Amino acid sequence: MQKPSSERQPEVNRRDFLKGAAASAGVAMGVMAIEGCSGLTRVGPAATVPAFKPREVVRIGFVGVGGMGTNHCNNLLKIEGADLRAVCDIVPEKVANVQKLAEQAGKPTPVGYSAGSWDFKRMCDREDLDLVYTATPWEWHTPVCIYAMKSGKHAATEVPAAMTLEECWQLVETSEQTGRHAIMMENCCYDRSEMMVLNMVRKGLFGTIVHAAGGYMHDLRELKFSDAGEGLWRRAHGWKLDGNLYPTHGLGPLAWYTNINRGDRFDFLVSMSSAARGMQAYAAEHFPPEDPRRKEQSVLGDVNTTLMRTVNGVSIMLQHDTNLPRPYSRINLVQGTKGIFRGFPDQIYIEGRSKQHEWESPDTYGKDYAHPLWVTMQQKAEGAGHGGMDFIEDYRLVNALRRGWYPDLDVYDAATWSAVVDLSVKSVAGRSRPVDFPDFTRGKWKTAQPIPIFDADQPCRV
């Protein structure tokens, strides 16, 4: 995929940006040959990215303060030791809104940057920042993170971290070369249910894990056709790209359950999409005949199913479904030799404990298996976005920076989970042929330790 170039700094308005997203997607479709695809391997061992250097206060610059960015800024304004020093967005009113939120919280007014699409560079060049956090449209996640790391800052980004294999490698190699972290903020890893399941997995309740399933199944038709927020850019990807374009909400927790990059790794995937009917049907029903949106032709299959296998033999099903009417789900299924859990709604079956051949509610397991992080953080997270998991992920990042810990999520997670976007598109374009996964850790997964069960003030890695 053609990405924003760091050599050019164009001024783009929203309409131009939307056109650019479509053009970028078109370029990607032109280079999707399965055979001989680049980006699968890199020469040489992976470098070691050190833990954070401890600091009393974490000085933060934020890029992209729309809905999700503002949500994160609200969290940061409440977290001890977080100092929101600068805010950047192409819309000056959004910058002003976060500045007002800071003032209302009794905090210093962050410096605003809104002089065009590349003004984040000027913000990153400040010497009084430790972390640059971005919640921009997808195309900008990698460029912002790369420039932040090259400017000496750690980087954190909303999901996905990258849209192509090449961008995934750029994140990994820049992180290794600069010694700065690039962290993808996958909030679903921190949801109450997913963390409880992680605790159950670690305590052996399900036996040896052999299968898992997850997804992002969310009716986004109204949002995609909106003329504000994500509607300005999100549906443009569906004009040219057919695959799993948003894999990490479902995949992140599964990767923790199955020790991906920490004892196991993804080996290969195959991906298949249904026909694309949902967006056109929605437009025909909701817009008048003269509306140009009636003429748009989405190629993104309404339901994409991606099957993955790990080196150790775990099978994983991952689905993407955002163009059809349906209730929300991330599936969140994990199955082993002793039992199974599935989510939305949560159900569990443990051999020898559950009534034979019948699901039961996991509520009775809460006392023994509630994750300690949630037990400790529940009050602080109450009322925050997405049921509190957004606050917990922001708290964990700030706490790691302050204490000098290695972060819960690292650049190898960001690259591995995000790579599903490009790999699934390649597989779909190749009539669902298998596509190999890169090993972004270059062998370090064999000795890395699984994510432990940690409390709020405990590191994820010793």
Per-residue pLDDT tens over the stretch 195-230 = 999 999 999 999 999 999 999 999 999 999 999 889
Question: Facing residues of 211 across strands?
Answer: 315, 335
Phi, psi torsion values for 155, nearest 5 degrees = -125, 140
> What is the arithmetic mean of pLDDT over 273-284?
98
Mean pLDDT of 380-407: 95
Long-range contacts of 447-453 (CB under 8 A, 24+ apart): 448/261, 448/262, 448/263, 449/262, 449/263, 450/202, 450/259, 450/262, 450/263, 451/198, 451/256, 451/259, 451/262, 451/408, 452/202, 453/198, 453/199, 453/202, 453/371, 453/372
pLDDT at residue 210, as a whole number: 98
Q: What is the mean pLDDT of the chain?
A: 92
pLDDT confidence tier of residue 6, bands split at 50, 70 and 90 = very low
Mean pLDDT of 80-106: 98
Q: What is the pLDDT of residues 344-373, one digit of tens each?
A: 999 999 999 999 999 999 999 999 999 999
Specify the pLDDT at position 179.
98
pLDDT score of 37 more than 80: no
Has residue 234 got a pLDDT over 80?
Answer: yes
Average pLDDT rounded to a whole number, residues 87-102: 98
Helix, strand or coil, per DSSP, at residue 321: strand
Do the beta carbons of residue 220 and residue 234 sit within 8 Å?
yes
Q: Does the pLDDT of residue 24 top 70, yes or no?
A: no
pLDDT of residue 39: 63
DSSP strands (E only) in 343-392: 347-350
Delineate the domains of the chain, giving CATH numbers in brackets: 50-184 (3.40.50.720), 189-375+411-446 (3.30.360.10)
Confidence label for 384 from pLDDT (cuts 50, 70 and 90):
confident
> 56-77 b/e with 16+ CB inside 10 Å = b?
eebbbbbbbbbebbbbbbbbbb
Average pLDDT score over residue span 387-408:
97
d(CA 391, CA 401): 16
Query: Which of helix, strand or coil describes residue 79?
Result: coil
The backbone region for 82, taken as left when phi is positive above 0, alpha when psi lies in -120 to 50, beta otherwise, is: beta
Kindly tell me if the per-residue pLDDT of 143 is higher than 90: yes
CA distances from 44 to 36, 39, 41, 174, 393 (A): 20, 14, 10, 14, 32
Residue 267 has pLDDT above 70, yes or no: yes
> pTM of the entire structure?
0.92
**Residue 342 CB-half CA count within 13 A:** 11
The sheet carrying 111-113 orders its strands as 111-113, 82-88, 58-63, 131-134, 154-157, 182-184
More confident residue, 385 or 110: 110
- As given in the structure block, the two tokens for residue 81 are 């030791």
For residue 35, pLDDT over 90 is answered with no
Q: In whole angstroms, what is the distance from residue 286 CA to residue 272 CA? A: 29
**Of 2-16, 131-145, 227-241, 362-376, where does mean pLDDT reach its minimum?**
2-16
The DSSP code sequence of 384-417 is SGGGGHHHHHHHHHHHHHHHTPPPSS-HHHHHHH
Tell me which residue of 308, 162, 183 sits closest to 246, measured CA to CA: 162
State both tokens at 260.
Answer: 């991906």
Task: Give the pLDDT score at 4.
Answer: 56
Q: Is 266 helix (H, G, I), strand (E, B) or coil?
A: strand
79 within 8 A of 397, measured Cβ to Cβ: no
Largest CA distance in the chain: 64
Is residue 275 over pLDDT 70? yes
pLDDT at 44: 79
Structure tokens at 107: 């905090």
Query: How far out from the chain centre does Cα 409 lie?
Result: 11
